[in-house]
């Protein structure tokens, strides 16, 4: 099974042109399933042809019992389905063990985001007098100002940022390109960051836009650490990640009256239904404001009707 996983990952890279971030997510899910099968059966190796529907169900139910949320479990089932569908299509197995395995309900998932005053404080707290400081501030502003995904920011090259037009080109899911506007604040930061980038690059030669202190392309893990480190100074939320800034970007746009279709285009969502979660968040925010401010509202119940704001 291990060799089949490697073949599947190469297929995602070459045929489907998935990003490194997405490939690694599939790899982690499949390796976790493989490890479960080895441990539960006592086998030293796993034959995908012998995997049963019960084993798939037991794996998923075990994740739930170990505290994985329903959304994570649903994603892992999607990884298994994609893997076995590929094996079935390429003739490596003759039946799909995930067929009719029910995905757990995702529930009313509302992503975390920062309030406007929190994101403002986070940006202001970064000292931009050093090369690292101006880089970190630019990263935060880039996520919040454009709503890009982590993989999109990590893969960004210098030639993708068009300072003369105030636009940036990013490659999203399915290797689809989209062009995003750069705000005035972000443009000003980029102009300060570019000289710092040249100093960080030293004698190395790279097109990568965001660099580590060693002059190499900043890794996804490195960006995650930077974002978490900077946001922890202003927020007590537990999951402070680049995705929180992406959610913050979308939520603030909706709160200020942006069109849902426009937000979908900016985020690079294939389906409008994916973007509609921000409509629910905005309505919930308005409900909270109403219950806190209107003299005839039942203020005592306001907190129970809002999410984490």
Sign of CA dihedral 208, 212, 216, 218: negative
User: How far apart are the C-alpha atoms of 309 and 292, rounded to whole Å?
Assistant: 13
Q: Which of 16, 173, 228, 309 is catalytic?
A: 173
Q: Which of 135, 137, 230, 246 is catalytic?
A: 246
Q: Which of 27, 85, 237, 243 is catalytic?
A: 243
Task: Mark whether 184 is an active-site residue.
Answer: no
Task: Mark whether 280 is an active-site residue.
Answer: no
DSSP state of 175: G
Task: Mark whether 256 is an active-site residue.
Answer: no
Tell me the β-bridge partners of 178. 170
Helix 131-146 to helix 220-231 angle (10° resolution) is: 90
Which is it for strands 177-181 and 167-171: parallel, antiparallel or unpaired?
A: antiparallel
- CB of 149 closer than 8 Å to CB of 267: no
Q: Which of 269, 280, 287, 309 is catalytic?
A: 269
Task: Mark whether 162 is an active-site residue.
Answer: no
Task: Mark whether 299 is an active-site residue.
Answer: no
Q: Which of 149, 197, 252, 285 is catalytic?
A: 149
User: How far apart are the C-alpha atoms of 226 and 60, rounded to whole Å?
Assistant: 32
Task: Mark whether 193 is an active-site residue.
Answer: no
| Catalytic machinery residues | 149, 173, 243, 246, 269, 278
């Amino acid at each position: 099974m291990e060799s089949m996983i490697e073949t599947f990952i190469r297929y995602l890279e070459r045929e489907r042109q998935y990003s490194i971030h997405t490939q690694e997510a599939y790899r982690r899910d499949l390796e976790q399933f493989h490890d479960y099968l080895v441990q539960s059966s006592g086998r030293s190796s796993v034959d995908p042809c012998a995997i049963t529907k019960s084993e798939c169900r037991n794996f998923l139910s075990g994740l739930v019992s170990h505290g994985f949320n329903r959304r994570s479990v649903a994603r892992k089932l999607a990884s298994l389905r994609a893997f076995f569908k590929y094996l079935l299509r390429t003739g490596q197995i003759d039946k799909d063990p995930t067929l009719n395995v029910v995905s757990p309900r995702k529930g009313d998932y509302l992503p975390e985001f920062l309030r406007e005053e929190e994101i403002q404080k986070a940006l202001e707290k970064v000292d931009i007098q050093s090369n690292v400081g101006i880089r970190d501030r630019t990263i935060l502003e880039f996520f919040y100002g454009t709503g890009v995904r982590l993989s999109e920011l990590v893969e960004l090259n210098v030639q993708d940022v068009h300072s003369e037009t105030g636009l940036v080109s990013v490659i999203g899911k399915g290797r689809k390109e989209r062009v995003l506007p750069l705000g005035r604040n972000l443009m000003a930061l980029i102009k300060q960051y570019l000289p710092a980038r040249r100093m960080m690059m030293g004698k190395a030669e790279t097109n990568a836009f965001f660099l580590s202190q060693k002059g190499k392309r900043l890794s996804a893990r490195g960006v995650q650490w930077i974002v978490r480190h900077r946001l922890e100074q202003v927020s007590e939320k537990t999951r402070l990640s680049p995705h929180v800034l992406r959610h913050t970007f979308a939520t603030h746009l909706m709160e200020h009256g942006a069109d849902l279709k426009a937000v979908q285009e900016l985020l690079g969502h294939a389906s409008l239904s994916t973007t509609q979660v921000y409509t629910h968040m905005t309505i919930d925010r308005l409900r909270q404001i109403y219950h806190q401010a209107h003299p005839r509202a039942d203020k005592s119940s306001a907190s129970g009707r809002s999410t984490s704001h």
